[in-house]
Structure 1
Amino acid sequence: MSLSSCQMFEEHKPADVRDATIDAEINPQKKQDSVIETMPLLSGSVLELYNQAKELYGNNQFEEAIEMLQRANEIQQAPQVSQLLAEIYLHKKDYKQAHVWAEKSTEQGPSKGSHCEKSYRILAAAAKRLGYVRNYQDAIKKQEDCLVIAPETF
């Protein structure tokens, strides 16, 4: 067999794909909306990087999205950035990183509203997959505390 007949094979890692069960778990269809929504403002450059990362994530380009978000985080630590990093790591099945970033998001972010709820849902999902029973239970409880329902009016 001559060298000319040998072929070089490039090593390819499997493509990033969003897991539908994770999406359903962290973005439930039937959820009640909170009447309170607060979120820290992002600087222009961070907002641009964040939006680019969201687009890359939507196209299943996880590594590129993570790079953008890490750059954004170096400029300004923000709960939106941490939450998206946690979500992407959850889809990559890197549950430890998902847990770390979800914790950061809950620490940095608002204590009420949909961002709070989703951060705790991601934290619960990562904790469940890591076998962190206490963290899972705490995250579920705190997620429920994020929701502020409008009082009945008569």
Structure 2
Amino acid sequence: MKALLQRVTSAGVSVEGRCVASIGAGMLVFLGLDRADNRDVATRMMDKILAYRMFSDNAGRMNASITDVCGGILLVSQFTLSAETRKGLRPGFSSAMPPADAQPLYHWMLECLRQRHGDVAAGQFGANMQVSLVNDGPVTFLLELS
């Protein structure tokens, strides 16, 4: 499982020209699910996302989590994060979780994040989305778990 975290001042997702989700200051999370991922891996990833210190504390140090700053989370599924890119000039997706398996795990994670954090918006699984964001910093981290 891979989660690309971006600190944002705002972010939104549109599908077919219609805004389906948006947040103010917080974290945009692009989530890639691999074939071997399961709820145990997802739980560890959610723990890490919610506790990851990528926001400034009162001293200006990167020492506060999304829960500390009460920011929004925008969760967007992105299977291309699971691409194999080491060989050749075309990405391979054999390690990505098939959509029929990924969709229930993604929605389970979304509901768990909403229960634990509250201010969580989401893109539309499997849709062609237009994602807009104002990256703050920029601050971007790639978290990987297996």
Q: With structure 1 as the length reference, what TM-score do the two structures score? A: 0.27
**Structure richer in strand, relative to its length:** 2
Higher relative contact order (CA 8 A, sep 6+): 2
TM-score by length of 2: 0.28
